[in-house]
Structure 1
């Protein structure tokens, strides 16, 4: 089947928010999104339910369909219990801020107890740091240079990372997604 779309529907536009079978996003940061092509394919393979649509449609000679803006998986995917130890997840845990000075530019990571002093590359010993602070601290202990992290490093849960991720919404949020992104927030009276 060949699908023709209106000129205003570019291949990169109209992403679909992907919800788990319990209607929670699969991930908040990065936000769980599929291209409209992947969303339509999942509909045809009967893997998702359409929850909400865009006003834009795609057409073939024998078929017309509104583009899904929100889809939910038909089968529940159990979330990971522990997040992967990655540079991005360290930055996310530390809310994209240097733990020594609060800067948000030139982020790298620092071993609180330097590797040269026996420190390990673990959740409990690595923090986000800007390049100037990382160079200033070098391979010295926090007490030696009077540089202590604002928040001591810890192994976050998936919930911790989701909570941090909610503080950094993506540049594009479609109105149909709002009921699903912050659904566990306290409602105002």
Structure 2
């Protein structure tokens, strides 16, 4: 069966829940079904994969800590210069610390040791090493779980609802 992406009334990702909880929300009229699996429950009720709440829920903002683990997760454990994917990754400052670059979501990327040494104390432009993607702060901790599900090949239908995160 699996997990269900719950969207706020504004279509922003809010949570991931079980299919049972999603069915209860649908039956109570608190949500509407946007996507579903081809399989059905015994009652011929399609199993939801994406639902949207009918009423807006205000969610308090929660800061995501800037940690090595979160940077690697954001960058999908992939070197942002040469696409190497693996465990032997370091963190690289896009704007080097020697030039005033600090520790921030927008200035740290995952890099393999080889690329990190090759880039040295230069910017990506100076080293002719373009970044795979522009580093940015994730909007929510839900970002990591959604990204993992999409990358693993499960829940591809979630992708169109998560473009902005």
Band the TM-score falls in, shorter-chain normalisation: 0.5 to 0.7
Give the drift of 1:105.
Answer: 2.3
CA separation in 1, counterparts of 2:129 and 2:71?
Answer: 13
Aligned-partner SS, 1:182: helix
1:75 alignment counterpart = 55
CA separation in 1, counterparts of 2:6 and 2:64?
Answer: 21
Contact 1:109/1:126 (CA < 8 Å) preserved in 2? yes
CA separation in 1, counterparts of 2:138 and 2:25?
Answer: 30
Contact 2:79/2:111 (CA < 8 Å) preserved in 1? yes
Structure 2: which 5+ runs fail to align? none
Aligned-partner SS, 1:105: coil
Normalising to structure 1: TM-score of the pair? 0.50
Give the drift of 1:96.
Answer: 5.3
Give the drift of 1:57.
Answer: 1.5
Find the partner of 2:153 among 171, 179, 183.
Answer: 171
Structure 1 position 47 matched with structure 2 position 30: yes
**RMSD (Å), alpha carbons:** 4.7
Find the partner of 1:111 among 89, 93, 99.
Answer: 93
Contact 1:99/1:149 (CA < 8 Å) preserved in 2? no
Structure 1: which 5+ runs fail to align? 1-12
Q: Deviations over 1:102-129 (max 9, x none)?
A: 3222344222455577642113421221
Q: Deviations over 1:2-35 (max 9, x none)?
A: xxxxxxxxxxx2332333324x4617xxxx6422
Question: Which deviates more, 83-92 or 108-117?
Answer: 83-92
CA separation in 2, counterparts of 1:137 and 1:78?
Answer: 46
After superposition, the Cα gap between the structure-2 partners of 1:141 and 1:169, relative to the gap in structure 1 and judged at 3 Å, is same
Aligned-partner SS, 1:142: coil
CA separation in 2, counterparts of 1:153 and 1:181?
Answer: 19
Contact 2:80/2:109 (CA < 8 Å) preserved in 1? yes
CA separation in 2, counterparts of 1:96 and 1:147?
Answer: 22
1:21 alignment counterpart = 9
Q: Which has the larger radius of gyration?
A: 1
Instruction: Give the total of aligned pairs.
Output: 149
